[in-house]
A = this chain, B = another copy of it.
């Protein structure tokens, strides 16, 4: 396979493996948004279908303010989108990538 030592090769340490710092930060930020049990729970519930804030608050047992803050973060990372219907604002997953991300994480943990 690959046998790399500490010897001098006279070349740059090839940093090109990494994407731009801004992209790195964005990706990390997105993952951090999902990396909270309460927010992850919201995303899992939304996989089952859209919900309004009151419903999410009832299902989690937390206050609406608390849930709203969680949703604010998820929205800022474009993980969820909203739809207004009268007094209610319904939340849903932004796209398929989100579902995949969640499922991948869940299966990785379950497969231990």
Instruction: Annotate A34-55 by CB proximity to B: 1 below 8 A, 0 otherwise.
Output: 1111011100110111100010
For chain A, which range describes its interface: under 10, 10 to 19, 20 to 34, or 35 or more residues?
35 or more
Are B58 and A2 within 8 A (Cβ)?
yes
Known interface pairs A24-B40, A37-B25. Does A58 touch B100 (Cβ–Cβ under 8 Å)?
A: no
Binding site for B on A (CB under 8 A): 2, 4-6, 13, 15, 17-19, 21, 23-37, 39-41, 44-45, 47-50, 54, 58-59, 61, 78, 97-98, 100-101, 104-112
Given A19-B106, A35-B35, 17 other A-B contacts at CB below 8 A? A4-B58, A6-B54, A21-B37, A23-B109, A27-B108, A27-B109, A28-B34, A28-B36, A30-B108, A31-B32, A31-B40, A32-B36, A33-B35, A34-B35, A97-B108, A101-B101, A104-B104
